Chain A
Amino acid sequence: MNIFNLIRLALRALQRNKLRALLTMLGIIIGVAAVITMMSIGEGSKQSIQSSLSNMGSNMITISPQSNQQGGARTQGSSIQTLTIDDVKALKRDATKISALSPAVSSSGQTIKGALNWPTTIQGVAPEYLDIRKLSVKEGIMFSDDAVRSSAKVCLLGQTVVDNLFSAGEDPVGQTIRFNRIPFQVIGVLSPKGQSSFGQDQDDIILAPYTTVQKRILSRIYFSNVYASAINEDASEAATQEVTSILRESHRLRDSDEDDFRVRTQAELIQTLGSTSSMMTTLLTAVAGISLVIGGIGIMNIMYVSVTERTREIGLRMSIGARGTDILLQFLIEAIMISITGGVIGVLLGVSSSMIVSSTLNWPTVISRSSILLSFIVCAITGIFFGYYPAQKASRLDPIEALRYE
């Protein structure tokens, strides 16, 4: 019997038992729909984390001090005072794979404007910081290199700070605020960036020249971080190595010494977060996958019933010339039909339910072609795997006994 007739035969058999076929498919339908929904939610959250990270500057490199061992004693990273202006100068002079560089030093404190006050963080940076972090100025201007040289008491405010210190409609540019009692003139307002993927408010910040923060607020000469931009995303790995070697030289570290700083790229961070969300996706998919297996067992069960029910038919078919293979294929294709039809319905259900999830719960979802393909293949395999044993049982029946079966 050719494949076309076999498929027709299988469809006919399913048509005769529509409800039973549907109930059998249900396991597969739910399984596939669950797999697709889970994968689309997982993929969606992964992509949203990635996009919010690359929003922060995907080629950003963060250099921070790190504890190393000196004379047997370890020191805490944040208290290390090794990152200085000399390092920044060395990097500016020697690094070729870096397009922008900004030291950073920060301090928290209370800002006051008239009767209003707000606890926030002041970040001392260089003008390049805007490029590195992909920030932009909404109103006013960024401070210049001259302001850095002269440790000018100027600042830019994040939107959250503006909202808390100024009444609605008031223009903050040109006004004076005080941070820890030191007066700063507001020369600009930053465009809002919203929450970071870690739930941190990125607009609750004040930017000022790093020299101002170092000298006038903290009285220190070292930096808490240095931010840099690799010339492009692909170069961030090479830039990391370059930065490392320049800083080792600048810190006069011997070959046997550990680094006393740490260079991290954004790509690394993306990877770390991506792997967490991948793990979640894998777990969710595994749970959904179990329901596929259960669906498969349902198919196996119903195919066994079907074989028993149609023993006489099998006997008849054999007596008029059906070979074992013909019978095997007949039942196998029937099982595959159930699983694939279930798969198609499941895909449709999965796609629509992830659309519902994204529109009602506002969760980002991404339906990937691979998840659809994957669940399809899994369906076909489920059909073959769980349909084979009943089909084999049918094909091995003795026609004499099958014909007389009551």
Chain B
Amino acid sequence: MSKKILEIHDVKREFKMGTEVVRALKGVSFNVEAGEFITIMGSSGSGKTTLLNMLGCLDKPTSGSYLLDGVDIKGLSRDELARLRNHKIGFVFQAYNLLPRTSALENVELPLLYNAAISTKERKERAINALKAVKLDGRFDHTPNQLSGGQQQRVAIARALVNEPVMILADEATGNLDTRTSYEIMALMQELNQQQGKTIVFVTHEPDIAAFSSRTVMLRDGKVQKDTANTNRKSARELLDSLPETDDY
């Protein structure tokens, strides 16, 4: 039996909006094991974003328990949560969120700057390796505005990888990209998942993206509606190869 990375048990999250209580999550339970590629789907208002914030240790559940790599985040302080995010989670955002006018290499180094245990030399080496892993060698000194959308997202993925997290947490990571580039990103994600055994949690609302993952959790009205393993998993690489060559942007 492989190791459980996420253990979510009956997680509820309520927000107070004035006198009204909004229940965003009404008791969500599921586990994610190491090496899984899971997509979380749901229409807007299904509690997707709330769950994502929770998984990313940016928010805490009102009730229920959430264990990340065996650590219960309940009762952790702000600083301890920050440390947990730094060590265990690699974020990939829809809007890339790279620092403007800062080189790709420095953007990738950023998480390591908040990890005191890592020396300047090691920081640079690891950032270079992470950029190589996303096939961006030779673009170290490019700033975000000198890179295409797909390249920027790959820098962001390198940034997520650099701290060797237990989980990559992607939030609509292909939302701003065209079909071809999003397939490229998904191909990269699949490679990271299958060849390097990275655990990936991918939040999306696009069904064709979900088809690349090994399992899909469907949310609806703050509850898990469906939790199904994907038997017919597609390869993004193959799909990419089948796209017409003339489709040149």
**Chain A residues at the B interface, C-beta cutoff of 8 Å:** 1-2, 5, 12, 16, 312-313, 315-326, 399-400, 403
Contact = CB atoms under 8 A, between A and B. Distances in A.
A313 B85 CA distance: 16
Given A399-B58, A400-B58, A400-B59, A321 B97 contact: no
A324 B59 contact: no
Interface stretch (B75-83, B185-193, B197-205, B209-217): B75-83
A324 B81 CA distance: 11
Nearest to B53: A400
A323 B82 contact: yes
Given A316-B97, A319-B58, A400-B53, A326 B85 contact: no
* Nearest 7 interchain pairs by C-beta: A321-B86, A321-B114, A320-B111, A323-B82, A316-B97, A323-B79, A321-B85
A12 B159 CA distance: 20
A326 B114 contact: yes
A19 to B, nearest CB: 15
Contacts of A323: 78-79, 82-83, 114
Contact of B93 (A318, A324, A403): A403
B110 A320 contact: yes
B159 A320 contact: yes
B92 to A, nearest CB: 11
Contact of B86 (A320, A324, A325, A403): A320
A315 B171 CA distance: 15
Interface of B: 53, 56, 58-59, 78-79, 82-83, 85-87, 91, 93, 97, 99, 101-102, 110-111, 113-116, 159, 163
Nearest to A315: B97
A321 B116 CA distance: 11
B56 A320 contact: no
A1 B58 contact: no
Contacts of A320: 85-86, 91, 110-111, 114, 159, 163
A136 B78 CA distance: 81
A406 to B, nearest CB: 10
A324 B56 contact: no
A1 B102 CA distance: 18
Contacts of A16: 101
A318 B114 CA distance: 10
A317 B98 CA distance: 10
A325 B114 CA distance: 11
26 contacts: A1-B114, A1-B116, A5-B113, A12-B102, A316-B97, A318-B85, A319-B56, A319-B85, A320-B91, A320-B163, A321-B82, A321-B85, A321-B87, A321-B111, A321-B114, A321-B163, A322-B82, A322-B86, A323-B79, A323-B82, A323-B114, A326-B114, A400-B58, A400-B59, A403-B58, A403-B97
